[in-house]
Amino acid sequence: EEQLVESGGGLVQAGGSLRLSCAASGFTFDDYAIGWFRQAPGKEREGISCISSSAGATYYADSVKGRFTISSDNAKNTVYLQMNSLKPEDTAVYFCAADDEYWGLRVDEYDYWGQGTQVTVSS
């Protein structure tokens, strides 16, 4: 019943931009923290950004700070990740996840996950 669907991935050149969307359904969006994570081939999944609307808090991993911006539209049950100044090392499958508690970027603590969307950044 609880579902998250990512969209907006694709192929871009280094220095370009993408905006990812995470649409949630089946739960009260306002009460959940939403995180963005990514996983490159052969590497562990890492947290890159999260948002808690109730707490008015956002957090970014150092690797994306200043380049990525997370935002939410609670009326649409959607969280966005605006990605600017993309680098080849940003290439990964990007996932959004939700939990009814705020866990920051702790991957193993999130209960609900989307299917992922591929982001590829060429040199």
Q: Does the pLDDT value for residue 121 go beyond 90?
A: yes
Task: Name the percent of the chain lying above pLDDT 90.
Answer: 80
Tokens representing 118 are 């591929």
Q: What is the C-alpha to C-alpha distance for residues 57 and 76, in angstroms, rounded to an integer? A: 19
pLDDT at 87: 98
Q: How many helices (H) and strands (E) does the chain have?
A: 0, 11
> What pLDDT shows up at residue 54?
77
14-72 pLDDT, tens per residue?
999 999 999 999 987 778 899 999 999 999 999 999 998 777 789 999 999 999 999 99
**What does the pLDDT read at residue 1?**
80
Q: How confident is the model at residue 103 (pLDDT cuts 50, 70, 90)?
A: confident
- Any idea what the Cα angle at residue 17 is, between residues 44 and 64, rounded to 5°? 40
pLDDT of 108 higher than 80 = yes
CA distance 7 to 53: 21
Predicted pLDDT of residue 2: 86
Q: What is the pLDDT of residue 102?
A: 84
